[in-house]
Structure 1
Amino acid sequence: MTAGNPSVEDTTAWAAEPMSRDKVVHAALSVIDRDGLGALNMRRLATELDVTGGLLYHYVDNKADILQSVAALVLGEVKVPQDSGSWRQWAIELTTSFREAFVRHPNVLPLMMDGLPRRLSTRLYSRTAQVLVDGGVPRERVSTLMEGLEAIAIGHAVYSSAALRGSAPDFGERQQKFSPLHDALSAVDMTADQRFQACITALLDGFVPPERGSERKEGT
């Protein structure tokens, strides 16, 4: 099954799978993607799977267990970059992949607001810390930089999903009354993805200016 926006074929194949914890979690993500986090409860999930509510407890403990597993499923979509030797490029690609996973599943974003990614992806975060240290980021700044990268990924995904729904701030004709704002908006010549990566690059360069930061040796 392709999480987030499954095709008819994917949905049919998923529905035909025997009952399992994995099937329950994927069904929960499908409900959340389609109808929002608040729509998920055990009764709704049982209806989605066409089973009795009691059967679900053979595979999951409770709703909290399901939500944590849903978050882990979304985080599992994050692609760990290949080691190209450039720690900055590695960090940019990883953070971009985080953002893409969140954009695919915007209704899951509230689950990511309390440090859940760090608790569920300890190995990945440990790897990221090592990459940053090897790249020349002072150890005392590594956790702050990682927090900043995570915040940019989550925040930009929130804004992107709002824009897709048409609920993001739109200055419209009002921008004409404020010349500096109008000029700044008119001067934008980057796509949303390019602006996102520019923000990441600025954050990385703020912690370790390019002329001072050493690049990791390939294979480190």
Structure 2
Amino acid sequence: MTGVWLRPQRPSRSGPPLHRDRIVTAAVELLDREGVGGLTMRRLAEHLDAGPTTLYWHVATKDDVVDLALDHIFGEVRLPDGSAGDAGSDRDWRVDVEGLLLDWRAAMLRHPWSAALLGRPMLGPNVLTRTEFLQAALQRSGLVEPDLGAATHALANYVIGSAVTLSSWQRLDAPEPREAARDHLATQRDRYPTLVDTGHLDDRDWEDTFRRGLTYLLDGLPTRT
């Protein structure tokens, strides 16, 4: 079975207006509120005040809906005005990379369900446009294959991993599980001294931690500028 991006979009049927953009907006609302487990085609149809048959005319499966929703939130990741993204651009590659990745992480944190789903093939226009922008910026630093592809994947995995970690930590609303984890670690300081000293399980300035790690990664790229 082909994915949603590889099939032609069906025209709207007669009756109440229902189109792909409206479906995707409603799906993101449900996902933000209830997570992937709370999204079903029936509940989405109810949220749209439409019948399941009408919904299935536009999207064939729940996977289609998820793919569309993921691409939709990638559209929230801003690109600089007038950014051509080509290798010959005189834009500062590092400014472009940092700006894109910071905004991408922020979008995933606004939609915590998204990060864990990014292992699926991503062929939507918003995803592809921003991935092309990232690789073109890295290419301007002087990277070529295989370093270019490795750098792209390393940076993407860092952003996704950061979003997954922070989203999971924030879901521990009650302080007790966090305190119990810290106490458990503290009682074994002789085995894990650096983890205790650095507050491995403490609340921290997650934004600063992410930016520092990103700086280390970008400083380590084998650029030729």
The TM-score with structure 2 as length reference comes to 0.74
Gaps of 5+ in 2: 1-15, 84-89
Matched AA of 1:166? L
SS in 2 for 1:139: coil
Sequence identity percentage: 28
Higher helix residue share: 1
Matched AA of 2:67? Q
**Alignment of 1:94 onto 2:104:** no
Instruction: Sort the Cα spacing of 1:19 and 1:138 in 2 relative to 1 into closer, same or farther, 3 A.
Output: closer
Asked if the contact 1:118/1:125 (under 8 Å) is kept, the reply is no
Which among 197, 207, 219 is matched to residue 221 of structure 2? Answer: 207
1:188-211 CA-to-partner distances (Å, cap 9, x unmatched) read 997211110111111122223xxx
Asked if the contact 1:75/1:117 (under 8 Å) is kept, the reply is no
Matched AA of 2:210? F
Which residue in the other structure is 2:115 paired with? 109
**Alignment of 1:31 onto 2:45:** no
Asked if the contact 1:87/1:132 (under 8 Å) is kept, the reply is yes
Q: How does 1:66-77 map to 2 (within 5 A)?
A: 66-77=65-76
**Alignment of 1:141 onto 2:147:** yes
Higher relative contact order (CA 8 A, sep 6+): 1
Gaps of 5+ in 1: 1-16, 215-220
Q: How does 1:141-220 map to 2 (within 5 A)?
A: 141-166=147-172, 171-177=181-187, 178=189, 179-185=193-199, 191-208=205-222, 213-214=224-225
Instruction: Sort the Cα spacing of 1:200 and 1:115 in 2 relative to 1 into closer, same or farther, 3 A.
Output: farther
Which residue in the other structure is 1:126 paired with? 132
The TM-score with structure 1 as length reference comes to 0.76
Alpha-carbon RMSD across the aligned residues, in angstroms, is: 2.9
CA distance in 2, matches of 1:77, 1:67: 16
1:124-164 CA-to-partner distances (Å, cap 9, x unmatched) read 22222221121122432011111111111111111111121
Which residue in the other structure is 2:21 paired with? 22
C-alpha deviation, 1:103, in angstroms: 0.7
